[in-house]
A and B are shown apart, each in its own frame.
Chain A
Amino acid sequence: MTRTATSPLQITTPSDREVAMTRVFDAPRRLVFEAWTRPDLVKRWLGVRGGWSLAVCEIDLEVGGRYRYVWQGPQGQEMGMGGVFKEIMPPERLVVTEKFDESWYPGEAINTTVLTEHAGKTTMTLTMRYASKEARDAVLATPMATGMSESFDTLAGVLATLA
Chain B
Amino acid sequence: MATARLDATFAALADPTRRAILARLTLGDASVTDLAKPFAMSQPAISKHLKVLERAGLVSRGRDAQKRPCRLEAAPLAEADGWLDAYRGFWEESYERLDGVLAKMKADEKKRARPKRHGDRR
B13 proximal to A (CB < 8 A): yes
A103 proximal to B (CB < 8 A): no
Q: Which residues of B contact A139 (CB under 8 A)?
A: 87
Shortest beta-carbon distance from B94 to chain A in Å: 6
* A47 and B38 contact, Cβ closer than 8 Å, known pairs A27-B106, A31-B106, A148-B83: no
A75 to B115: give the CA distance in the assembly, Å.
47
Q: Which residues of B contact A140 (CB under 8 A)?
A: 23, 26-27, 87
B90 touches A47 (CB 8 A): yes
A146 to B90: give the CA distance in the assembly, Å.
11
Query: A11-B87, A21-B91, A144-B87 provided; 11 other pairs, C-beta below 8 A?
Result: A44-B97, A48-B94, A49-B90, A49-B94, A140-B23, A141-B19, A141-B23, A144-B19, A144-B22, A151-B80, A155-B80
Shortest beta-carbon distance from B100 to chain A in Å: 7
A41 to B10: give the CA distance in the assembly, Å.
39
Q: Which residues of A pack against B, CB within 8 Å? A: 1, 3, 7, 9, 11, 13, 21, 23, 25-27, 31-32, 34-35, 41, 44-49, 133-134, 137, 139-141, 143-148, 150-152, 154-155
A66 to B83: give the CA distance in the assembly, Å.
34
B102 touches A27 (CB 8 A): yes
Q: Which residues of B contact A35 (CB under 8 A)?
A: 98, 101-102, 105
Q: Which residues of B contact A44 (CB under 8 A)?
A: 97, 100-101
B93 proximal to A (CB < 8 A): yes
Which 7 interchain pairs have the tightest Cβ spacing? A147-B86, A45-B97, A141-B23, A27-B102, A151-B83, A151-B81, A148-B83
The A interface, classified by DSSP as helix, strand, loop or mixed, is helix
Q: Which residue of B lies closest to A146 (CB)?
A: B86
A13 touches B27 (CB 8 A): yes
B87 touches A134 (CB 8 A): no
Q: Which residues of B pack against A, CB within 8 Å? A: 10, 13, 16, 19-20, 22-24, 26-27, 38, 80-95, 97-103, 105-106, 109
A151 touches B94 (CB 8 A): no
Q: Which residue of B lies closest to A31 (CB)?
A: B105
Pairs across A and B, CB under 8 Å, 8 listed: A7-B88, A9-B92, A27-B106, A31-B105, A46-B94, A48-B94, A144-B83, A151-B86
Q: Which residues of A contact B109 (CB under 8 A)?
A: 31
A9 touches B87 (CB 8 A): no
A45 touches B80 (CB 8 A): no
* A23 and B95 contact, Cβ closer than 8 Å, known pairs A7-B88, A147-B83, A155-B81: yes
Shortest beta-carbon distance from B105 to chain A in Å: 5
